[in-house]
Structure 1
Amino acid sequence: MSASTAKLMSPEEIAVRAGEQIPFLLLPQPGLFAERALRLRQLAPGHAMGDYLLFAAELAQAQHEVFSRPLALSLPEQPQIEAAAKAGLPLLPAASWARDPAWLQELRELMRLLAARIAAGPARTAVLQLADADDQYLELQASRLLNGVMTGLDLASAPLIAAGLQVHWARLLSQLQARFEREQNSQHSPLLAPFGRIDDPLICPCCASRPVASITRIGAEGSGFRYLSCSLCAAQWHYVRVKCTHCQSTQGISFQSLLNEDGSMPPHSSGVQVECCEACGHYLKIVHMEKDQQVEPHADDLASLSLDLLVSEAGLIRHGVNLQLLFGDSGEPGDSEAQH
C-alpha cells in the first residue's frame, strides 16, 4: 500500500463557513457503545486484526448493556460548575477527578457481561480475574491509566479498565446534562450549563482527555464541520479543519490515506485519513462521514493501525489516544505516557 496526499479548504475558507450556526459540543448519546460495536463488526471480516476487532465489538456491546442500566452517581454541584467555567477548565478532569466508587461496580459488571460473551480461553480467564480484583489494585491501575503513567501499568488489563472508565465518564456527562435540563426548566433565571468552551481547545472540554480522532460530520447540524472525539467520555467538540490538533499551526498541513497498488482505497479505511503537521511532527486521524456514513472514531481508528505504521515510519508522532490500543513498556521506569 502507498499513501496519497490531499488538500482541503483553507483555514480562511473554513472560518467563513464557521459563521454558520453549529453546536460547539455534542454530548454522548445512549446508543454510542452499541454503534461502536456495530461498526467494529462491520470492519472485522477480512481484516488482519479481525479477531481483536470482534473482541472489541463484544466489549463495546457489554459497555452498552452496562451504560443502559440505571446507576445514580455523585455529581458536582452548581458552585463547582461555576468555578470550572470561571477558570476556563473542564468540569470533570480525568486525571484528578475524585471517582465515585460506583465505577468499580460498573467495571465488575462489565467484565462479567463480557466473560459471558466470549469463548473460554486466556482472554476469558483474564476478564474474570479482573472482575475479582480488589479495589485498591483497580483504583491504582485506573489512576496510572488516566494520568498517562506507564510504570506499573498492566497493558493487558488496561483496555478493559479503560472500558469501564469510558462508561463511567459517559454516564457522568449524561446525568449532569439531564439534571441541568430538569433544573433549567424549573428555574426562572437561566442556569450555567455544566459543559461548554474552555481555554484549551485541544483537550476535551468535559474531561480534559486527548481526542482519539476527529470526524467530519453530515446532517442538519454541523454538516462538513470537523469535531474532535474524546478518547474517554466520547464527547465531541468543534475544531476548525486544516489546523493542527497538537500545536494549532495552519501551515504545512497535509492529509494521507492508504491506497492499494491499483489506486483504490482499502475497504477498511475508505473514510479514514491522517492529518499531518510539518510544524510539530504530530498527526491525528480524521474520519469522514461524507465518505462513509458508518464511520465511528474509536472503531475506525482501531481498524486503521496500518495507517499509523505508515506515517510513523516517516517520523511522525501520534497525538490521539485509543484506550483500547495502548503501546509502551510497563516495566521501565521513566516512561510517562501510555501512548505516544
Structure 2
Amino acid sequence: MTQIAVQLFLAFGVTAFLLLVLRRPALEAGLVDRPCDRKRHGRLVPLIGGICILLGFAAASLPADFGLRDYQGLFAGMTVLLLVGVVDDLVDIEAWAKFAAQVFAALLMTTWSGLVVEDLGQLFGPQVSLELGSLAVPFTVLCVVGLINAINMFDGVDGLAAGTVAAALSWLVLAGAFNGGASWLVLAGLLLASVCAFLIFNMRNPWRRKAACFLGDSGSMMLGFALAWFAVEAAQGEHALLPPVAIAWILALPVLDTLTLMARRILRGRHPFHPDREHLHHIFYRAGFSSGQTVTVLVLTSVLLGGMGVLGTGLGLPEWVLVLLFVPVALIHVLIQARAWRFARLMRRQLRWVRSNLRQ
C-alpha cells in the first residue's frame, strides 16, 4: 500500500512539474492553441497536457511490483496517438491520418495485447449472454476509435474532457477497490493522479481564471484510448468487475453527445466530424452559464450517470434493468440536442430566476 501511495504521488508530482517547466519551450516551439472564431480564449495556450500526463503516468508506472509486459499495447498505443496528435497540433495533418493512427492503436490493443470485447452481457434478460464471436475484434476496434473521438470532440471547454475522463477513471478504480482489485487498477489510479494534476492547471477555479495549458488533440486522443483500455479490462474476462452496461453508464455523456451530433450532421448533409458550435456545452453557453459552471454541471452529470451504473450493479440490479433505465437517459439527451435553442431559453429563464432570488 505504501508503494502505491508513493507511485500516486510520483504520477501527480511529475505531471505537475512538467506542466510548469514545459510551458515556455512549447510557446517557443509553436506547440500552442491559437484563438479563432470557434474558441473562447484570447491568447496562445501551450498544448502540453497530453505530453505531461503520459510522461508522469509512465514514470510512476515503472516501479510497479507487477510486470508491465501485458500493458505494452497500452503504452505503445498511447505513445502513437500522442505523437500523431502533437504533429497535428503543430501542422494540422489530414483527418484520415489521425483516423489511421486511432485504428492502429486499437489494433495494438486487440491483436497484440488480446484485449477485446467478447461478451456484451445479459442485455436481454438473465441467462441470455450476448457473445460476439468473430465480431469481437472489429466491434472492439469500432468502440475504441469511437471513444477516442468522443473524448476528443468533448474537449471544448477548460477541464471538460479531462474532468470527464477523471470521473470515469474514478468509478472504475472505485469499483475495483471493492471487488478484489487487479493490476490494471493500479495503472488506472496512476493515470487518474496524472489527470488530476493536469486539471489543476487546466480547470478554471477562483484561483485560476484562465487555463494555463490545454490537452490538445494529442492529449484527448491518448486519454480516450487509455480510458477505452481500462473500460474493457473492467468489463471482460473471468475477473470482470462490471457488466458492459455499467460501462455504458460511465461513458454515457461524451459518447451520447458525439453520436447525437454526428447523426445530426449526417442528416444535414455535412461531414460527421465537421466542427460546429452545437455540442452540449455550447447549449449551456447559450443559456448563460459560464465556462466554469458548464464544466461543473457536465462533470457532475458524468459522475451521477457513472454512479447509476456502478451502484446499480453493486445493488444487484439485473443488467437488462440497467439497459431499460439507460434508454430514457439517451432519449432525453437526443431531445435536448434536437431542441437545443428551446432548451437553452428554458435554462436561461431558470438561471435568471435563481440569480434574482439569490440577490434578494
**TM-score, normalisation: structure 2:** 0.27
The structure with the largest strand share of the pair is 1
The structure with the largest helix share of the pair is 2
**TM-score, normalisation: structure 1:** 0.28
